[in-house]
Chains A and B, each alone.
Chain A
Amino acid sequence: MNAPLPGPLNDNPDLDRWVEFPSAGKVTVLTGRVELGQGVLTAMAQIAADELDVAMERITVRSGDTAKAPNEGYTAGSQSIQFGGVAIRQACADVRALFLDQAAKILGCQVGELSMNDGSVHRNGKSTGQDYWTLSGAVNLGVKATGGGARKRVVDFKSIGKSCARLDLPDKIFGGSAFIHDMQIDGMVHARVVRQPNRGATIGSIDERAIRRAAKGPIEFIRNGNFFAILGADETAVEAAGVAATSHVSWQNIEAPAPIQQEATWLLQRPVVERVFGAPDAGNPQGRQRYEATYTRGYLAHASISPSCGLALYKDEILTVWTHCQGVYPLRAALAKALKLTPTSIVVHHVQGSGCYGHNGADDAAADAAIIAMQKPGQPIRVRWRREEEFIYEPKTPAMVVKVRALLDDSGRPVDWTQEIWSPTHNQRPGAGGNLLGALALPDPPPEPPPNDVPEANGGGATRNAEPLYDISAKRILHHLVTETPVRTSALRGLGAMPNVFALECCVDELAESAGRDPVQYRLSMTADARARAVIEKVATMAKWNPAAPRGTGTGRGVAFARYKNRAAYSAVVVELSVDEEIRLHHVWCATDAGLVINPDGVLNQLEGGIIQSASWVLKEQVRFDNGIASFDWETYPVLKFSEVPEIDIELINTRDEVPLGVGEVTAGPTAAAIGNAVSHALGARIRDLPLTRERIMAALLKE
């Protein structure tokens, strides 16, 4: 009896959806996970190389393709390696076993005498003349995976666990056509959409002459309801027309977000769906000291370096779409619904875009291209959003208010913990019922999706990491899912984990301080989890943590810890910084346990990126509202610059016998909280609202 198949393999059991031997010496590995700049294709190739026993150079990874690749939903939640990688591992092990069985039949020997060596079958160490490619005619991969193929033992790994250069980087460094933006299709025309400002807004008037004048070249208009687009062969003309159209198309029924709606505290008085998890209410017990503090974080943008892009062609009753979104199958389903087509008449191909940290404009740009393509059969359409369009119309990660209440024992340790959250949804992806922007402008727009958030079984949205991992006898989460929001909200790297870990790990520091305890020792006293203890102890050693460092000197250090989703990678972070009017990051140390690491350098790269992006969120980022979205370019939404990044040291605790755990999101929360704690240490005053702006620093100092 074999163990149950890994989830994605169970969902896509046909082995020919995972592995192909297209020509002599070549292997194609298919995955539903897509490259978002995180290096997943390289890691998948490493896994396949070991389990198939072939050299990396033979492998091409094909990903995110409804025509062929497995359906693995979204590439999100740091799950690609933990689930998708494990599925490829088993699929390749099953394929290898099938080929060895066939070889044994042909050679008239026992399978046990055979081994695979770079794709060639060896018998008792000697070549047999058989290999994957000579045997592939006789082995039918159109069969279901059984999980019967023996996976490699850790000691037999050759590629897994060794740093491997990213397969996709050379094109990006030598100027190849690496991105969807670089795709050229014969006869392709460029398009820009004049965006509907909000659901229900209707076009009042269009000054077509003024737009044509601005274009300075031939353009064409198409309109369907309130969906209005500009097309042309010359991108310069189309872009100029797109810019001009923002002031030559008038809209009615505009709802523009107001400054008062910008801060997280605006959420406190809105309609909500109440959700409660965990231990029953502790009431108001006598004799227990009580601690309460409230933390907030504003709306954030994904701010991918490039605006979104999508291509589409409707020809011979097949709609083909090229996109850099995170889930080609969910997009296909959403397009089918919006365009009233059958899913089987739509093919969606993933092509790489710029760094993607969640649900940005990618799905919507693809839908724009598809809507236009349906009106222009036979004509390939390329839509590239403008920079301002991406900032204004991409989904925002929601603002959040997190109130922590702790009841303490006589030693000042928490025995009862409540994390109370006000947050809009973190998931309006098309696959979760969210609408494609362009579809809202078409006649007969789809209804608002019912309020929901990512299920707790999938790690939760606003509730992600709301439960401390520490040994506390009673823990509960009160989630006020806010149903009225000024902007569309959806997933950004870590979802609620960053604000929740910021709140709870800052609160833990505050409790340590009032108990007169060193924050490192205090944390260690609250957890028996050996892997948690190991990363906290490790980072303290790396940073030469000094429990006696004085507070309020202008220079500070802070520590924080989390296990992402309380079930993925463990990470502890120490930050050293100084504060005068602004915060200057000096050094970040990080210790991470991600279980079995496939590509150590890839993991370090992801952890570093997570640290820097989180530092940017905490120090600089908030989407501003002022009669509309007032953060619409890199000057109104600045991010961390080269001259502002800290030195970073990371060590991996490589627990090779544990399952691999995703790392893209684990450092966001601990970095945010460690910065918060270091600022408090430096100032001798606590700031509980993000971002940590100059105004907030001055206010905190005045309050002291």
Chain B
Amino acid sequence: MSKKFDFSVNGKAVSVSLDNEETPLLNVLRNELGLMGTRFGCGLEQCGCCMVLVDGAAEKSCTKPVSIVAGKKIVTVEGLGSAAQPHPLQQAFIDEQAGQCGYCLAGILISAKALLDKNPRPSRTEIAQALDGNICRCGSHNRIMRAVEKAAAVMRSGTTR
């Protein structure tokens, strides 16, 4: 007996019907809605690859049952911006070449977005703390933190680049 869940993803209303209401939000995003930008890393809420914004807060989606997000606003990396219209964070990550394999980046961009929404002028220490829930195994940490600082400066100045 399938159940219907309504919520919004990247500003669009979505409705999914599922037999299993414990289906993780991540699986719904990837397998039902075809949004592949949010990655599976551990399924244990330990690595941060699956971060999405839930009503503006960065949360891990890999074990979160979809029933919990009914009625809420979800934003994924696809909702931040696009190659044609990049979010300042995405532009800064390109400018700083902040990544190696890039598997962790979608989750990191979401954590960084949540940080800058709360704190537009974070110190390096605050950036590091905000990203400690995300694992980067390739060692791109310093570039990533530089990119977040740069995006913060751009966003404060109100320019798009």
Contact = CB atoms under 8 A, between A and B. Distances in A.
Contacts of B46: 387, 633-635
Contacts of A386: 43
A634 B48 CA distance: 11
Contact of B83 (A174, A235, A605, A633): A174
B76 to A, nearest CB: 7
Contacts of B125: 643
B145 interface: yes
A178 B82 CA distance: 14
A177 B20 contact: no
A38 interface: yes
B122 interface: no
B99 A169 contact: yes
What range describes how many residues of A lie at the interface? 35 or more
Given A609-B139, A633-B42, A354 B22 contact: no
A384 interface: yes
B97 A173 contact: no
B40 A384 contact: yes
A175 interface: yes
Contacts of A611: 139
A619 to B, nearest CB: 13
A37 B138 contact: yes
Interface string A599-615: 00110011011111100
B56 interface: no
A611 B141 CA distance: 11
B77 A605 contact: no
Given A236-B24, A305-B104, A609 B138 contact: yes
Contacts of B132: 641-643
What range describes how many residues of B lie at the interface? 35 or more
A565 B160 CA distance: 47
Interface string B18-57: 0110111001001100111111111110110100000000
A612 B20 contact: no
B49 A305 contact: yes
Interface in B70-89: 76-78, 80-83, 86
A216 interface: yes
Interface string B85-117: 010001001100101111111100100000000
A605 B143 contact: yes
B123 to A, nearest CB: 12
B44 A612 contact: no
A354 B103 contact: yes
A355 B103 contact: yes
Given A216-B20, A306-B39, A306-B49, A608 B27 contact: no
Interface of A: 36-39, 165-166, 168-179, 181-182, 184, 216-217, 234-237, 239, 303-307, 352-357, 384, 386-387, 601-602, 605-606, 608-613, 616, 633-635, 639-643, 645, 647-648
The 4 closest A-B pairs by CB, nearest first: A175-B37, A37-B101, A172-B102, A612-B139
